[in-house]
Structure 1
Amino acid sequence: MQVTMRGICKAFGPVKVLENVEFNLAGGEIHALMGENGAGKSTLMKILSGVHLADAGEILLDGKPLALPDTAAAEAAGIAIIHQELNLIPQLSVMENLFLGREPSRFGMIDFAAMRREARARLEALDAGGISPDAEAGSLSIGQQQMVEIAKALALDARVLIMDEPTAALTEREIDTLFGLMRQLKRQGVAIVYVSHRMEEIFRICDRISVLRDGCFVGERAIAATDFDEVVRMMVGREIGDRYPKREAVPGEVRLKVENLADEDMISGISFDARAGEVLGIAGLMGSGRSDILKTLFGAKRRCEGSVSLDGQPLAAGSPAEAIAAGLAFVPEDRKSKGLVLGMSLRENATLVHLSQYARLGVVDAAAERRAVDGLIAQLRIRARDAELDVKALSGGNQQKVVFAKWLARPPKVLLLDEPTRGVDVGGKAEIYHIVNQLAAAGVAIVMVSSELPEVLALSNRILVLREGRQADIFDAAGCTQETLMAAATGAAG
């Protein structure tokens, strides 16, 4: 099987997103598609999956023209996509999401027993048997929702499977399981397009790589014939220096002190401190309680036990508003529903938290606000034609930068980061790492959750490892390894 995309062009209004793009995909291969945020990767794949119509160009399947006016036509042609932004219906159950529009029936009625059995089998194949088929999709964590999205796409038995950032919220163990399934599908002749910003994964699982830059096709390479540096140059058109900048801040006095922290349902017995200028990483498997610690500290979850102090003063177990007033900031894992107001502009989102600092006598100084936003756009290299653009129109990585920007106008005392580089390209990651280091150098204490163990090891001074809601250990990052962290997270240590 061979899929060929030739001369693909796409514009949204006056903005050209794709121009004369070429892409070739063969059955039985895993083909990486890479580029910076806004390069056009997701748009190209949405054209291949029937979400968007190309303005020009053609798609061929085994040399014959293929019309894809909608997603139903793409599915009929055997093309399935796992979108970067989750598309589950939160009010429906897991099994109803998996088989939406394809529900098994018996005597003209939906066969819920058969649906439940098949859903459980699909989830177990992904080593996600702990997710109940009857659970409401909206009640699942982001990582669990991602596993359901993957199971949903695999249930279509597609000939072409497009994976847009499928591992963004998964742990190493879940990624290993997914890669095992991908290799199995490859042996069965399935063509897989793999879109990811994680270089380690690209070189570990893919056969070929195609790179887009600014909506144009840059080139194609066999994975065996290229390396990290060449791919980065193709993506960004420049050298980006060290992948992980050196930590230069020297930790000072204890800024945040946590003793015997417990929430209402997940974590208990959590004790640690974070010093001014320190990055404290938090690692663990999905469902271990990593995000729950941050939510409880920020007041988004109820604190049931324990004490928290900030600069020696008790921090009330109150609300996010009280946490912000005390000097805490939080970049959440789910930018789409928790970090942004999608119907508001980039400018409005970027100044939402601290809007009062741009106001005089209750009236916003529009010029001062715009200057601040322009500065944040330049600092974070947010790609947008205008600050008044709705934030929902930005790429996923640029949306993440806007979430980050909200807290930079008034640097906090403690910054809580939950998967801060999820869906961010290699250049954007380097910029965020630089900002983290700058904030640490300014005395901010940073507590960071990340599923990327190389990122945790590179950015952290110390690393807290969780296992099933409990504190497994705390390690100095210097000299620590991924194997050490995974052993502690799974209980294999000792």
Structure 2
Amino acid sequence: MRDSAPLLRLTAISKSFPGVRALDGVDLTVGAGEVVALIGENGAGKSTLMKILNGIYQPDGGEIALDGAPVSFPTPHAALSRGVSMVHQEPKLCLALSVTENVLIGRLPKGRFGAIDWRQAHERTRELLSRVGMRVEPTTPTERLSIAERQQLQIAKALASDSRLIVLDEPTASLTPVEVDVLFGIVRDLQAGGVSFIYISHHLEEIFRIAQSVSVLKDGRKVADRRVSETTKEELLSLMVGRDIGNRFPAKGRRPGAPALEVRNLTGRGFRNVSFRVHKGEVVGIAGLVGAGRTELARAIFGADPVKGGEILVDGKPAAIRNPADAIRLGVAYIAEDRRDGLFMPLPVRENITVVAPEAIATNGVIRERTQKSIALDYIKRLNIRTPSGEQQIRFLSGGNQQKCILARWIIKGVQTIIFDEPTRGIDVGAKTEIYRLIDQLASEGKAVILISSELPEILGMSDRVLVMERGRLSGEVDGHEATEENLLALALPTNTPSHELQP
């Protein structure tokens, strides 16, 4: 496909932010009907490059050409008008609007007298949703959708614009294997019709399934172009990381202590009659398919969603957790699957790290700025957070480093139980290894860790025990040394339990 004139050519693209050179003379070429994978560690410059292509950022230097002619995209709308769209890793949707309004925003059909033709709009939306494997009513408020469903909705929205080039930024991060297959089927169908894709993913096995070529970025520079048929996973890992990451998971040798957290017959929105305990010095994994109720359970334990029945115990004593403030006071923390839920993007790293521990940095309500800076710098070093300084706005950090900032705040706070919900979603292989090391270190120091993940290798590699949820119920528990992908999937797959019984 590269023998024909390219649909897109990026030449010598450069971009700097305060204290960071994000891109340094990057080239990228995409042919018509081609899927080009773009890979690299977090912070390599992938998202910055794509935001330039989609008019979100403006380059400091370089050229964008479509069909051989130079173009500029001062806004995302300008890019969209030329057939370039982007499906973001973090869903960019208006949660207050319906599914139809999000999918067809700016393109809602109108009737004879200028009023919106909702019947036609809903029919068009159903058609697009079916193409991405979604079975929700078009009138459904978007805020009711899960992270996985919102990701699928973004893809449907891109399909609605008839784009010639679609950027998929970590599109499978929250999708089940079945949903991934559906997505890849959509990509292949569109590709056969001449649509091109830039595919960003940390799951290298996906690259070999869907892409024809792959470009590798490292530290803001392109270090390699390869035909997928002429490379290997090992070579790509070496090009991305530039070092041997060895065994990704720490050796298990932890000795659990007394129970730190226990739930008895807990019932809430999306789950029912769940009972388990997690001990100090232990990592308990929670596996299950998307929609099994794992996140809903975690949010209820943390007090973010109401509990409808059952009991929570902390250190063996009944705990009244009505809101997150109660949970934090009792030493329970929750790190959400969507990092943005826990970050203050306009604020610097220093303030994001220390925000939940005013007692450590303030006297009589007055922040001791020197102490705050000292504590933040200490944890930047301890957790190897890659940032020019504590004054850097956290929105400029990579996903892995943002995740470490959230973790730092809970360590400073001194919590005893930490619930990680998809802690490595959208994080590269090198940063994942660092997150695993930090989780192991927390457990080794006596913290109780609950690890929710859709990646079975992650669950298997990190957990002392694995709980499996299936449609809102706890379907089984497996010792970490005996857990396999097969026995976890057997417990996670739907049974014949009537679904209406799972709606408390």
* 3-state DSSP of counterpart to 2:411: coil
Residue aligned with 1:486, SS: helix
The answer to whether residue 223 in structure 2 is matched with residue 218 in structure 1 is yes
Kindly indicate whether residue 331 of structure 2 is the aligned counterpart of residue 327 of structure 1: yes
* Aligned counterpart, 1:409: 412
> Residues 308 and 314 of structure 1 are in contact (CA less than 8 Å); yes or no, is this contact kept in structure 2?
yes
Are the structure 2 counterparts of residues 324 and 213 from structure 1 closer, same or farther at C-alpha, using a change threshold of 3 Å? same
Q: Does residue 193 in structure 1 map to residue 193 in structure 2?
A: no
Name 1:165's counterpart in structure 2: 170
Counterparts of residues 279-290 of structure 1 (less than 5 Å)? 279-290=283-294
* 2:458 is the alignment partner of 1:455: yes
- Residue 92 (structure 1) aligns with: 97
> For the Cα contact (< 8 Å) 1:411–1:439, is it kept in 2?
no
Gaps of 5+ in 1: none
* Distance (whole Å) between structure 2 residues aligned to residue 425 and residue 162 of structure 1: 18
Alignment of 1:134-283 (within 5 A): 134-263=139-268, 265-283=269-287
Structure 1 match to 2:134: 128
| Aligned-residue identity in percent | 42
Report the CA distance shift for 1:310/1:200 in structure 2 as closer, same or farther (over 3 A).
farther
Counterpart code for 2:127: A
The answer to whether the 8 A contact 1:398-1:424 is kept is: no
| Aligned-pair CA distance for 1:362 | 4.2
What residue is the counterpart of 2:65 in the other structure?
Answer: 60
Query: In the alignment, is the contact (CA less than 8 A) between 2:266 and 2:310 conserved in 1?
Result: yes
User: Is the Cα contact below 8 Å between 2:466 and 2:483 reproduced in 1?
Assistant: no
Cα deviation for residue 134 of structure 1 reads 1.2
Partners of 1:33 and 1:231 in 2: CA distance? 11
Does 1:293 find its partner at 2:333? no
Q: Which residue of 2 aligns with 1:75?
A: 80
Q: Deviations over 1:266-301 (max 9, x none)?
A: 211101111222211112222221101111111111
Cα distance, 1:14 vs. partner?
5.8
The number of residue pairs the alignment matches comes to: 491
1:331-410 map, 5 Å = 331-336=335-340, 338-410=341-413
In structure 1, C-alpha distance between the alignment counterparts of 2:367 and 2:240, rounded to whole Å: 40
**Matched AA of 2:129:** L
Alpha-carbon displacement from aligned partner over 1:42-71 (angstroms, at most 9, x marks no partner): 111122222223222222334333333332
Q: Check the 8 A contact 1:380/1:432 in 2, yes or no.
A: no
- Residue in 2 that maps onto 1:5: 10
Query: 1:261·1:306 contact (CA, 8 Å) conserved in 2?
Result: yes
Q: Give 2:464's aligned amino acid.
A: N
Q: Which residue of 2 aligns with 1:310?
A: 314
Residue identity matched to 1:283: A
Q: Could you say if the C-alpha distance between residues 386 and 253 of structure 1 is closer, same or farther in structure 2, counting changes exceeding 3 Å?
A: same
Matched letter for residue 134 of structure 2:
A
Distance 1:44 1:476 in 2: 44
8 Å Cα contact 1:37-1:396 kept in structure 2? yes
CA change 1:320–1:452 in 2 (3 A) is same
The equivalent of 1:28 in structure 2 is 33
Whole-angstrom CA distance in 2 between matches of 1:419 and 1:306:
25
The normalised TM-score by structure 1 is 0.93
Asked if the contact 1:302–1:317 (Cα under 8 Å) also holds between the matched residues in 2, the reply is no
Deviation at 1:359, TM superposition (A): 3.0
Report the TM-score when normalising by structure 2: 0.92
The one-letter code matched in structure 2 to 1:236 is V
Partners of 2:432 and 2:463 lie apart in 1 by 15
Measure, in 1, the Cα distance between the counterparts of 2:51 and 2:87.
10
| 1:384, distance to aligned residue in structure 2 (A) | 2.5
The corresponding residue for 1:113 is 119
1:193 aligned counterpart, secondary structure: strand
Q: 1:92/1:268 Cα in 2 relative to 1: closer, same or farther (>3 Å)?
A: same
**Residue 440 of structure 1: CA displacement?**
0.9
Q: Secondary structure at the match of 1:407?
A: helix
Contact 1:168 1:422 in 2 (8 A): yes
> Does the 8 Å CA contact 1:172/1:451 hold for their aligned counterparts?
no
Given that residues 356 and 364 in structure 1 are in contact (C-alpha distance below 8 angstroms), is that contact kept between their aligned partners in structure 2? no
Tell me the C-alpha RMSD between the 2 structures: 2.1
Is the contact made by 1:31 and 1:208 (CA closer than 8 Å) also made in structure 2?
yes
Distance 1:481 1:42 in 2: 34
CA shift digits 1:386-440 (9 cap, x unpaired): 3123323334443233222211224422111111112222221111100000011
